[in-house]
Amino acid sequence: MLLGLMVSVGAIAGAKAQTVEIEYWQYVFDARVKAMNELIKRFEAANPNIKVKQTTFPYADYQTKIAAAMPAGQGPDVVQLFYGWLDNFVGAKFIQPLPRDAFPPAMIEKEFYPIVSAMKRDGEYYALPTAVRSLALFYNKKIFQEAGLDPNKPPKTVDELLDMAKKTTKRDGAGNMLSAGITLDFPGQDYHWWRETLLRQNGGAPYSDDNKTVTYNSEAGAKSLNWYADLQRVHKVGQVGFMDEGQAAFRAGRAAMTIDGSFRLGAFGGIKNFEWGVAELPASADGKKANFASYWVNAITTKPTGEKLEAAKKFLAFVTTPEAMQLWLETVGELPARKAAAETEKNLNHPIYGPFLKALAYSHATVFVDELAQRQVSLDMINRVLLQNQDAKAALAEAAAAEQPILDRFYKK
Amino acid sequence: MRQKQVLWAWSFLAVPILFYAVVRFYPTLEAFWISTTNWNLLTKPSFIGLANFKRLVADPVFWQVFRNTALYLLLGTPISLLLAFTIAYHLDRVRFLHGFIRALYFLPFLTTAAAMAWVWRWFYQPVPIGLFNNLLAGIGIAQQPFLRSTTQSLPAVLAPAIWAGLGFQVVIFMAGLRAIPTTYYEAARIDGVSNGTILRRITLPLLKPTIVFLVVFSSIGFLRIFDQVYNMTSQTSSDPGGPLNATKPLVLMIYQTAFSSFDMGYAAAQTVVLFLVLLVVSLLQLRLLRDR
């Protein structure tokens, strides 16, 4: 037995001498962890001399853990981060530019969706996504049918959306809402819908091209904000806080329409009592389309050198292959970040993935410097309009005055 | 001999002193230092003097939050104490199912604040799922926005916080009531003194230590309120402390500044303010309520 033990110890030690181990970090989200485990398995099978150790943390602690580990010379070799955190990570020298030999910028620009340009600083790409997410309109076919609407004809323009929302809203005798025409959930995805879709459809833009100046305080801003607020104020087809959350109302069958991201597909997949459909976000009356795309990216940290760096490069290249992206789509429900992987005949015509994928071609990825603080500014703005009857123009001016210092504080550094 | 005892005493004391120095005092002092820096966790802190405090004074959100925290304290402490005393005073006389009723009052105190907050959050929902609004609608009264209102949301969040702490205060009050020797009451009865006079002249004065303890204890609790607010006004993607910061207490602001914005220096400055407020309030109460 002793001999056997010695042999096996020797075998482990021998294997270790040739094996490179790299560490990969992401936050805990079951489907993502599962997808990554599968990818690591396939990667290790193809590269027997590389071992990848996956470590996960709860979302709330994630950034803190990285910040604590990196200066101590520990932490991951390849790390997943939200695209909005990039400037912080680059500024802290936690991640290095993607080596040009393995990830030539020309290849990235040709093969990935243009929204990945948000990962480019001074001509260098710092990170790449496996998958991206966009927004779409989910609608309840049963409610559509009950209201005499064609369950296979979701609204194509915002005017149609309003019209259908009016027809599908249900109230009791006292006027209390029983089922919403469209959910109003600014803390959910509606603030992206307003900022990246409605605002642009009215001819505005949320930020200047260099992202340093707030530009939504405009005529287009007021027009789009009023249109959104009127859904509750005038047309009463939705109500903020109805059923607590927009997605909860939709899931319970108490909303005809809701706007949400591709990451909600998993949750809506469990709906049993009605059939639902997905449509592209409605265009403006003159046909203008816009959407919001966001993503998590993978980057190589400043930690690995030599053969570890080579292994990290190989691993990052692997998780951004079309094959990995297809697996991610099927496991997590998030969309491939490469055009070729996304826009296959099968994916584009898919009744559920299709509308999300088509949106990627006209999506914008907002650059955030402090995502939560910036979101809070938007929430306060809509609350002042809906709860305190503040005029849309005044609300926009106040929001811009609150958000600009957040941008200034960041870009000054 | 004496010297040896002192030596022994100190060697025993050394362990807790060391523990407190490392775990309590050092981080406290560290917080004071961090409050004078600009630090985002990722880079090295840079010294900026009192700039964080200047920013705090000029920040309207801070003053709103300060006002909210004061409201939690000024509403929460007296209401909860009055309720707890009334319940304890009457429960003390109940013989029938006494233990059971007491357990019912104590039960919320044992429940996780987060779970409790979510149930209450659901109570406050609009028709058709909200318990309170369904009741209101049932008797023909207009729905109330509760958590979706800038004026109603703070009391709405405070209510479950008071309710949850009630059991603890009731138990402490009952212990205090039981500790008053019955001979005093017997003597008063023989003298034919009214119930009101007994309450004012005997019960309340003798309960003073209990009251002092509960006032200080619950004040600190309300000044540090967090769980209820966070869970009732937020979810993974919501508006913690909202709407429009109407329910945001200081602790939640600190949490957001530190762990959402990673603005550690600014968060530390807020912590220093909270520390000073807690210190002043506690000292003031102890001074006002102490035995002369």
Tell me which of B168 and A372 has the higher pLDDT: B168
Nearest CA in chain A to B59: A402
pLDDT at B1: 64
| DSSP-assigned letter for residue A119 | G
Burial category of A239 from C-beta neighbours within 10 Å (exposed 0-12, middle 13-18, buried 19 and up): buried
Specify the range with the lowest mean pLDDT, choosing from A6-15, A23-32, A256-265, B278-287. Answer: A6-15
With an 8 Å Cβ cutoff, the interface of chain B facing chain A consists of 40-43, 121-122, 125-129, 137, 140, 143, 145, 147-150, 235, 237-239, 242-245, 256, 259-262
pLDDT mean over B166-172? 94
- What is the residue-wise DSSP string for A16-58? HHH-EEEEEEEE--HHHHHHHHHHHHHHHHH-TTEEEEEEEE-
Please write the tens of the pLDDT for every residue from A214-234.
999 999 999 999 999 999 999
pLDDT mean over B79-103? 91
- What is the residue-wise DSSP string for A319-333? HTSHHHHHHHHHHH-
Residue B229 and residue B120 in contact, taking contact as beta carbons nearer than 8 Å: no
pLDDT at A160: 96
pLDDT mean over B248-262? 87
The pair of structure tokens assigned to A217 is 């305080």
The pair of structure tokens assigned to B208 is 């003073």
Quick one: how many helices (H) and strands (E) in chain B?
15, 2
Compute the mean pLDDT over every residue in chain A, rounded to the nearest whole number. 90
pLDDT at A161: 97
Contact A177 B150 (CB under 8 A): no
**Strand A363-364 to strand A276-279: parallel, antiparallel, or no bridges (unpaired)?**
unpaired
Q: Is the pLDDT of residue A12 over 60?
A: no
Query: What proportion of chain B, given as a percentage, has pLDDT over 70?
Result: 97
Q: What is the pTM of this model?
A: 0.83
Query: What proportion of chain A, given as a percentage, has pLDDT over 90?
Result: 67
Query: Which residue among A172, A240, A373 sits closest to B261, beta carbon to beta carbon?
Result: A373
Q: Which chain B residues touch A241 with a CB distance below 8 Å?
A: 125-126, 145, 147-148
Query: How far is B244 from chain A, CA to nearest CA, in Å?
Result: 5
Q: Which of B101, B104, B35, B62 is nearest to B248 (CA)?
A: B62
Chain B interface, mutation test: which of A379, A387, A390, most B Cβ atoms within 10 Å?
A: A387
pLDDT at A14: 46
At A170, phi and psi to the nearest 5?
-120, 140
Chain A interface, mutation test: which of B40, B42, B48, B253, most A Cβ atoms within 10 Å?
A: B42
Dist. CA A208–CA A215, nearest whole Å: 6
- State the pLDDT confidence band at A9, using cuts at 50, 70 and 90: very low
Q: Is the pLDDT of residue B248 over 90?
A: yes
pLDDT mean over B42-55? 88
pLDDT at A403: 95
Please write the tens of the pLDDT for every residue from B98-142.
889 889 989 888 888 889 998 999 999 988 889 999 999 889 888
Phi-psi region at B39: left, alpha or beta (left = phi > 0; alpha = psi -120 to 50): beta
Query: Which residue among A67, A172, A240 sits closest to B42, beta carbon to beta carbon?
Result: A67
Specify the range with the lowest mean pLDDT, choosing from A14-23, A235-244, B99-108, B218-227. Answer: A14-23
* 3-class DSSP state of B37: strand
* 3-class DSSP state of A178: strand
Q: Which chain B residues touch A188 with a CB distance below 8 Å?
A: 237
Query: How far is A373 from chain B, CA to nearest CA, in Å?
Result: 7
Query: How far is B248 from chain A, CA to nearest CA, in Å?
Result: 13
Residue A152 and residue A200 in contact, taking contact as beta carbons nearer than 8 Å: no
The pair of structure tokens assigned to A124 is 């260098």
- State the pLDDT confidence band at B291, using cuts at 50, 70 and 90: low
| DSSP-assigned letter for residue B290 | S
pLDDT mean over A294-310? 92
Dist. CA A154–CA A354, nearest whole Å: 14
Residue B130 and residue B122 in contact, taking contact as beta carbons nearer than 8 Å: yes
pLDDT at B3: 86
The pair of structure tokens assigned to A387 is 């709860």
pLDDT at B292: 53
Q: Is the pLDDT of residue A27 over 80?
A: yes
Burial category of A286 from C-beta neighbours within 10 Å (exposed 0-12, middle 13-18, buried 19 and up): exposed
Query: How far is A345 from chain B, CA to nearest CA, in Å?
Result: 34
Dist. CA A277–CA A261, nearest whole Å: 13
Query: Which residue among A70, A178, A372 sits closest to B128, beta carbon to beta carbon?
Result: A178
With an 8 Å Cβ cutoff, the interface of chain A facing chain B consists of 60, 63-64, 67-68, 70, 88-89, 91-92, 94, 172, 174, 176-178, 187-188, 239-245, 254, 370, 372-373, 376, 379-380, 383-384, 387-388
The pair of structure tokens assigned to B80 is 């909860």
Q: Which chain A residues touch B262 with a CB distance below 8 Å?
A: 63, 67, 88
pLDDT mean over A375-384? 92
- What is the residue-wise DSSP string for A104-127? -HHHHHHHB-GGGGGGEETTEE--
Our measurement of the distance from residue B84's CA atom to the centroid of its chain's CA atoms, rounded to an integer in Å, reads 15
Nearest CA in chain B to A252: B129
Query: Which residue among B143, B150, B261 sits closest to A387, beta carbon to beta carbon?
Result: B150
Q: Which of A234, A237, A230, A232 is nearest to A167 (CA)?
A: A237
Dist. CA A192–CA A290, nearest whole Å: 11
Query: How far is A60 from chain B, CA to nearest CA, in Å?
Result: 8
pLDDT at A413: 60
Q: Please measure the distance between the N-terminal and C-terminal CA atoms of chain A and give it in whole angstroms.
A: 63
Beta bridge partners of A295: A132
Compute the mean pLDDT over every residue in chain B, rounded to the nearest whole number. 89
- State the pLDDT confidence band at B74, using cuts at 50, 70 and 90: very high
Query: How far is A72 from chain B, CA to nearest CA, in Å?
Result: 12
Q: Which of A202, A195, A208 is nearest to A396 (CA)?
A: A195
Contact B239 A379 (CB under 8 A): yes
Please write the tens of the pLDDT for every residue from B175-231.
999 999 999 999 999 999 898 999 999 999 999 989 989 999 999 999 999 989 988
* 3-class DSSP state of A364: strand
Contacts 24+ apart (CB under 8 A), A319-327: A319/A36, A319/A39, A319/A43, A319/A130, A320/A128, A320/A129, A320/A130, A324/A39, A324/A130, A325/A130, A325/A131, A327/A35, A327/A38, A327/A39
Query: Which residue among A178, A187, A243 sits closest to B239, beta carbon to beta carbon?
Result: A187
Please write the tens of the pLDDT for every residue from A33-74.
999 999 999 999 999 999 999 999 887 778 778 878 887 788
Q: Which chain A residues touch B140 with a CB distance below 8 Å?
A: 174
Q: Is the pLDDT of residue A32 over 60?
A: yes
| DSSP-assigned letter for residue A391 | -
Q: Which chain B residues touch A177 with a CB distance below 8 Å?
A: 126-127
Beta bridge partners of A323: none
Dist. CA B36–CA B17, nearest whole Å: 27
- Which residue type, as a one-letter code, is found at position A82? F
Task: Find the helix or strand (DSSP H, E) in which A228 lies.
Answer: helix A219-233
Q: Please measure the distance between the N-terminal and C-terminal CA atoms of chain B and give it in whole angstroms.
A: 39
Residue A130 and residue A327 in contact, taking contact as beta carbons nearer than 8 Å: no
Q: Which chain B residues touch A244 with a CB distance below 8 Å?
A: 121-122, 125, 129, 235
